[in-house]
Amino acid sequence: MTEPVKEGGRAWLFGDEVDTDVLAPGIYMKGSMEEMASHCLETVDPAFAPGVRPGDIVLAGANFGIGSSREQAAQALTILGIKAVVAKSYGGIFYRNALNFGLLAVTSQADITASPEDRLMVDGEVGKVTNLTTGETWGCDPVPPHLLDMIAAGGLVPSLERKLAAQQVK
Amino acid sequence: MPGQTLAEKIIAKAAGQETVTAGEIVTCRVDLAMMHDSGGPRRVAPILERLGAKVWDTDRVVVVTDHYVPAVDAESAHILDTTRKWVAANGVDNFHDMQGICHVVLQENGHLSPGMFVVGGDSHSPSGGAVGCFMFGVGATDMAGVLVTGETWIKVPSTIQILWSGNLSNGVSAKDMMLAACAKMGMGGGDYQVIEYAGETISGLSMQERLTLCNMAAELGAQTGIIAADQKTADYVTAAGGNPGDIEKWQGDADAAYRAVHEFNANTLSPQVAAPHSPANSSGVENHAGQNVHQAYIGACTGAKLEDLKMAARVLKGRKVASNVRLLIAPASTRTTAEAAADGTLATLTAAGAILMPSGCGACAGYGAGVLSENEVCIASTARNFKGRMGPGNSDVYLASPYTVAAAAVAGHIADPREFLNGGGA
Ligand code: SF4
């Protein structure tokens, strides 16, 4: 059993309808994932990719990750070190990909308020988002324990790797 | 206890629960996993190798080669070879090599039946909903997870109902219904939820036409499409060698909650044409009449099943393809070709000057034979007309029903197929 996923970091704010082309621009598809990640979200916030620090959190509006099925959109965020996304809703395929790549993506209908440098904390187990800078808290949909385990392991493939290794030890 | 939609009932069964609620995340046992040559073994094998894991249940895996068949170069030959070797090494007996397009082959061979929970490594996996199962498309990482564990997690989608009343007129088909739905609801209208098709028009449709409806749930941006099983479904599944089971069990409750209901009337529906570069860019054929085309393409899981070929034959019977157009027909499966040969459909098509192509995805996604040149225009019975899908970025694809594609082939430009159907059947 791994630690329940709680992520805390600086907030990066985005609006509605941030699509997969903005997250993983098609023109960089042929290059490395690292190069792709360095262009992640640059058309909406050029400061994002160079400025992100491991553990930071994305706070967005409705339909985050809408668009194509490309897994790279979620992967790019994890490469930059983003640990959690809080949004009003998600593109369905992006949501699957995010969790499978170990990104704690939670849904909250609350009007969460944060300024760019505020520190946020996301608790996927109980379903709570806290602005550590202002002390305010909001509810979010909790994530079931076995998916939190998968996220904590770094995603679907690493978590399977861990499970299979554990079986062999037995 | 609130009523459950059909999709919710299937997900609940697969999750081992009494009921599920939209938005809830559950883990489901997978009844069947389908992969094709493009997104299948070549992409999942490296992940399975990294994990040192084996397929959880080879009887529940179906592999189809369709995207790169027949091989046209060393690269496609290698992809097919990789697929065949993986299937042999892993003992997967359900292997349909060059027998047609996966979504059609799956149903023809009785692999699907009502109430099943199925994942497919292809975005048009919603096609499976035609027989009343819940089937959706997943990527390589998800598929690898399924192959190792036999399970996958899902955020229970809500259900949007599309209700059709009335009867389709002569020369109007399921493809026109979907283009009209795309125009009204937009490509995001399905919002990664389930689209359930219902109403008297749907009851009257054949299984192949129902496949076309569910297939294009993908163009509405839905997670999947589904049609509750009826006697037609049961008969079809039985004839295909499957077991339909108890179809009464797989019906939505009368008091189930739908997120939205969209109503359409078939009586007033005219042949539809989607202009480049989106299926949502659809309107009546009259708005596009006279548009010049270089190629007419009848192909894909969406538009080259036996009934699709018959629609084209009704237009082409006793007529010739115009000299400025090439008409390419790639039947959706080898069985389709055999049946069309047996009932005379094929002879009608070739007598009109159609060029017969191998069964496979072909030009649909730009992988196979029949792609376009610079600035060429094609009218196709396929599902998508995104920029550059069938050729260079400056080539154009109009989407239409097999009737309308055949009419364009005869007229030499986009035309109303009803002008060629006076006097009725083939
Ligand atoms: S025919 Fe076209 S839409 Fe159908 S599976 Fe092949 S590429 Fe996809």
pLDDT averaged over consecutive 10-residue blocks of chain A (170 residues)? 64 93 85 92 94 95 87 94 95 93 96 94 96 96 94 95 83
Higher-scoring residue by pLDDT: B157, B191: B157
Nearest CA in chain B to A62: B191
CATH number corresponding to B6-265: 3.30.499.10
Closest protein CA for atom 6 of ligand 1: B361
Q: Where are the domains of chain B?
A: 6-265, 272-420
* A31 in contact with chain B, both atoms CB, cutoff 8 A: no
Tell me how far the alpha carbon of residue B338 lies from the centroid of ligand 1, in angstroms: 20
Q: Strand, helix or coil at B136?
A: strand
Q: CA of B360 to nearest chain A CA: how many angstroms apart? A: 23
List, in sequence order, every residue forming a beta bridge with A66; answer none if it has no partner: A19
Residue B177 CA to residue B180 CA, distance in Å, equals: 5
pLDDT digits (tens, 9 = 90+) for B69-119: 999 999 999 999 999 999 999 999 999 999 999 999 999 999 999 999 999
Which of B25, B148, B193 shows the shortest C-beta gap to A147? Answer: B25
The verdict on the CB of residue B361 being under 6 Å from ligand 1 is yes
Which of B23, B51, B123 shows the shortest C-beta gap to A160? Answer: B51
Q: What CATH number has the domain bearing residue A109?
A: 3.20.19.10
DSSP characters for B363-378?
A: TTTTSSS----TT-EE
Structure tokens at A13: 């704010």
Contact B192 A92 (CB under 8 A): yes
Is residue B23 classed exposed, middle or buried when 0-12, 13-18 and 19+ CB atoms within 10 A define those classes?
A: exposed
Q: Tell me if ipTM is over 0.85.
A: yes
Contact A92 B137 (CB under 8 A): no
Tell me how far the alpha carbon of residue B142 lies from the centroid of ligand 1, in angstroms: 20
The verdict on the CB of residue B364 being under 6 Å from ligand 1 is yes
Q: What angle do CA B367, B368, B371 make, to 5 degrees?
A: 90
Residue B410 CA to residue B421 CA, distance in Å, equals: 12
Residues of A with Cβ-Cβ distance to B123 under 8 angstroms:
69
Closest CA to B368 of B391, B398, B349: B391
Residue B290 CA to residue B292 CA, distance in Å, equals: 6
Locate the ligand 1 atom nearest the alpha carbon of residue B301 and give its number: 4
For residues B135 and B103, is the Cβ–Cβ distance under 8 A?
Answer: no
Contact B145 A71 (CB under 8 A): no
User: Average pLDDT of chain B?
Assistant: 96
Contact A146 B27 (CB under 8 A): yes
Domains B6-265 and B272-420 share a fold: yes
- pTM comes to 0.94
Residues of A with Cβ-Cβ distance to B138 under 8 angstroms:
96
Query: Which residues, 6+ apart, have CB-to-CB distance to B318 below 8 Å?
Result: none
* The pairing of beta strand B159-165 with beta strand B260-265: parallel
Sign of the alpha-carbon torsion through B26, B32, B37, B43: positive
Closest CA to B3 of B16, B19, B25: B19
The reported pLDDT for the residue numbered A68 is: 76
The reported pLDDT for the residue numbered A4 is: 44
Task: Please count the residues of chain A.
Answer: 170
Residues of B with Cβ-Cβ distance to A147 under 8 angstroms:
25, 153
Domain count, chain A: 1
Residue B424's pLDDT band (cuts 50, 70, 90): very low
pLDDT digits (tens, 9 = 90+) for B43-76: 999 999 999 999 999 999 999 999 999 999 999 9
A1 within some domain? no
Best of B67, B101, B102 to mutate for ligand 1, by most ligand atoms within 8 A of CB? Answer: B101
The reported pLDDT for the residue numbered A5 is: 60
Tell me how far the alpha carbon of residue A99 lies from the centroid of ligand 1, in angstroms: 27
Tell me how far the alpha carbon of residue B272 lies from the centroid of ligand 1, in angstroms: 20
The reported pLDDT for the residue numbered B422 is: 63
Specify the CATH architecture of the domain B272-420. 2-Layer Sandwich (3.30)
A86 within some domain? yes
A2 within some domain? no
Amino acid, res. B400: A
Tell me how far the alpha carbon of residue B381 lies from the centroid of ligand 1, in angstroms: 11
Amino acid, res. B260: A
Sign of the alpha-carbon torsion through B9, B13, B17, B20: negative
Task: Flag whether pLDDT at B229 surpasses 80.
Answer: yes
The reported pLDDT for the residue numbered B426 is: 42
Nearest CA in chain A to B53: A164
Structure tokens at B283: 């309107």
Which of A66, A143, A157 shows the shortest C-beta gap to B25? Answer: A143
Q: What angle do CA B256, A124, A55 make, to 5 degrees?
A: 140
pLDDT digits (tens, 9 = 90+) for B400-422: 999 999 999 999 999 999 999 96
Please name the residue that has the structure tokens 């097919």: B80
pLDDT digits (tens, 9 = 90+) for A114-139: 999 899 999 999 999 999 999 999 99
Find the domain containing A62 and state its range: 9-169
The reported pLDDT for the residue numbered A26 is: 81
Q: CA of B187 to nearest chain A CA: how many angstroms apart? A: 10
The mean pLDDT of B169-196, rounded to a whole number, is: 96
In a mutational test of the B interface, the residue from A93, A140, A151 whose CB has the highest number of chain B CBs within 10 Å is A93
Task: Flag whether pLDDT at B423 surpasses 70.
Answer: no
Which positions in chain B have a beta carbon within 8 angstroms of at least one beta carbon in chain A? 23, 25-27, 47, 50-53, 123, 137-142, 144-145, 148-149, 153, 155, 157, 188, 191-193, 223
Nearest CA in chain A to B140: A71
For residues B219 and B182, is the Cβ–Cβ distance under 8 A?
Answer: yes
* A109 in contact with chain B, both atoms CB, cutoff 8 A: no
Query: Helix, strand, coil proportions of chain A in percent (round to 5)?
Result: 35, 20, 45
Q: Strand, helix or coil at B52?
A: coil
